[in-house]
């Protein structure tokens, strides 16, 4: 659809844990993004770049196919996709310092979970069947994986499966559903990915420029600017604690 356009396309999550911070990263990199929160596309005013707002699970496909030259996506979504591919058709350029979370196995608080062997012969609901399958077979556990596209935490209460494997960041969703995390399947964070499809010279230059800018943002994040409201008397003790 965009093959003949001279513009670069960056896929970011339309709505969810990465959307806002993905936009902010690109703004910090100097991209002036035109407004229109509900649009599927936003033009960048000062570069020939378009942002595409899509479902996170579609981002690896779009970047692999070269429909979008870049994408911002969680390692969880990317690895789940990669396990279904013969060969990667994208490169991971950099971790982006936000969107940290983990794919975890969780059990009802009263389940008496005692290690992966407790999962043997049981049903586990998840949106990440490939990652879960790899985790289980690495441990010699055979369980039945039930694929759900959302509301995975409801599976035990609905009688769909006694265990779940889902993304956890604050842990509030598990907590609210009477579940506790028992195993970590994958640590995740937001990643910048780039297609392996060759780019025209003009697009390749723009891609380099974009990556340098994002690199610059990440470099400045390493030194943090902290503002505190504290009594002057505490100043010495505070600076002793800060690195």
Which parts of this chain interact with ligand PRP (CB under 6 A)?
A: 16-17, 56, 150, 152, 166-173
The least CB distance from residue 241 to ligand PRP, in Å, is 28
Closer residue to Zn ion, CB minimum distance, 56 or 69: 56
Closer residue to ligand PRP, CB minimum distance, 74 or 210: 74
The least CB distance from residue 96 to ligand PRP, in Å, is 16
The least CB distance from residue 102 to ligand PRP, in Å, is 9
Distance, in Å, from the CA atom of 150 to the CA atom of 127, rounded to the nearest integer, reads: 7
Interaction partner, residue 123 (ligand PRP, Zn ion, none; CB < 5-8 Å by kind): none
Q: With CB under 5 A, what is the number of residues at the site for Zn ion? A: 1
Closer residue to Zn ion, CB minimum distance, 81 or 113: 81
Please name the residues in contact with 27: beta carbons below 8 A apart, sequence gap of 6 or more.
33
Distance, in Å, from the CA atom of 98 to the CA atom of 113, rounded to the nearest integer, reads: 31
Distance, in Å, from the CA atom of 26 to the CA atom of 30, rounded to the nearest integer, reads: 7
Interaction partner, residue 172 (ligand PRP, Zn ion, none; CB < 5-8 Å by kind): ligand PRP
Q: Which residues of 65-75 are buried (b: 16+ CB within 10 A; e: fewer)?
A: ebbbbbbbbbb
The two three-digit tokens of residue 110, written as one number: 């009263």
Among 179, 174, 161, 165, smallest CA distance to 122 is for 161
Closer residue to Zn ion, CB minimum distance, 64 or 118: 64
The least CB distance from residue 190 to ligand PRP, in Å, is 11
Interaction partner, residue 17 (Zn ion, ligand PRP, none; CB < 5-8 Å by kind): ligand PRP
Interaction partner, residue 84 (Zn ion, ligand PRP, none; CB < 5-8 Å by kind): none
The least CB distance from residue 150 to ligand PRP, in Å, is 5
Among 115, 127, 117, 138, smallest CA distance to 161 is for 127
The least CB distance from residue 231 to Zn ion, in Å, is 45
Beta strands in the chain (DSSP E): 8-13, 41-43, 49-54, 70-74, 90-95, 101-108, 123-126, 144-147, 163-168, 179-188, 190-195
The two three-digit tokens of residue 105, written as one number: 């196995």
**φ, ψ at 71 (rounded to 5°):** -150, 150
Q: Which of residues 46-65 bind Zn ion (CB under 5 A)?
A: 56
User: Applying CB under 5 A, which residues contact Zn ion?
Assistant: 56
């Amino acid at each position: 659809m965009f093959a003949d356009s001279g513009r670069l396309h960056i896929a970011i999550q339309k709505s969810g844990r990465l959307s806002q911070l993905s936009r902010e990263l690109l703004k910090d990199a100097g991209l002036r993004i035109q407004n229109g929160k509900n649009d599927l596309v936003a033009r960048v005013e000062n570069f020939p770049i378009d942002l595409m707002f899509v479902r996170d699970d579609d981002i690896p496909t779009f970047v692999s196919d070269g429909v979008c030259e870049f994408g911002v996506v969680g390692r969880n979504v990317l690895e789940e996709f990669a396990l279904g591919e013969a060969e990667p058709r994208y490169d991971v350029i950099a971790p982006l310092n936000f969107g940290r979370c983990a794919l975890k196995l969780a059990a009802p608080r009263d389940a008496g979970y005692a290690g992966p062997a407790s999962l043997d012969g049981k049903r586990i609901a998840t949106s990440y069947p490939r990652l879960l399958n790899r985790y289980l077979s690495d441990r010699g556990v055979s369980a039945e994986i039930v694929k759900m596209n959302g509301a995975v935490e409801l599976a035990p209460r609905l009688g769909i499966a006694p265990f779940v494997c889902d993304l956890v960041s604050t842990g509030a969703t598990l907590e609210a559903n009477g579940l506790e995390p028992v195993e970590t399947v994958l640590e995740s964070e937001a990643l910048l990915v780039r297609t392996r499809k060759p780019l025209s010279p003009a697009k390749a230059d723009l891609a380099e420029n974009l990556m340098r800018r994002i690199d610059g943002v990440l470099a400045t994040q390493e030194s943090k600017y902290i503002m505190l409201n504290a009594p002057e008397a505490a100043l010495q003790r505070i600076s002793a604690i800060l690195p």
